[in-house]
């Protein structure tokens, strides 16, 4: 049986967090490690976890759903410019494009 890792993260630099600092939830150790990275990395000026919602229409059930982006962060680049990134934390296996035969079976 695979153990799941979930919990609440308490930032050491709460001024950097965008959103509700009392409700920062991680659903995997990878997400927790990324939170620590965002919180402790000096060039990351601001960050948030699941604070951005993207509505989308799902044609199968004909309803609007909400997609929560894992992370957003504002980073100061080496040249001084500011960049904003939206980041998804996924295991490698979920980043591999499915084989065409499997895609057709699911349609």
Residues noted as catalytic: 31, 70, 90
The answer to whether the beta carbons of residues 25 and 50 sit under 8 Å apart is yes
**Distance, CA of 106 to CA of 28 (rounded, Å):** 27
Alpha carbon of residue 61 to chain centroid: 25
**Distance, CA of 96 to CA of 88 (rounded, Å):** 14
3-state secondary structure of 40: helix
**Distance, CA of 16 to CA of 41 (rounded, Å):** 10
């Amino acid at each position: 049986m695979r153990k799941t890792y979930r919990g609440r993260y308490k930032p050491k630099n709460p001024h950097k967090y965008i959103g509700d600092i009392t409700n920062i939830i991680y659903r995997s150790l990878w997400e927790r490690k990324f939170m620590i990275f965002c919180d402790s990395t000096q060039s990351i000026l601001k960050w948030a976890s699941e604070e951005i919602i993207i509505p989308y229409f799902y044609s199968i059930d004909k309803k609007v759903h909400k997609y929560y982006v894992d992370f957003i962060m504002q980073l100061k680049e080496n040249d001084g410019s500011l960049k904003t990134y939206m980041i998804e934390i996924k295991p490698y296996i979920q980043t591999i494009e499915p084989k065409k035969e499997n895609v057709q079976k699911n349609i």
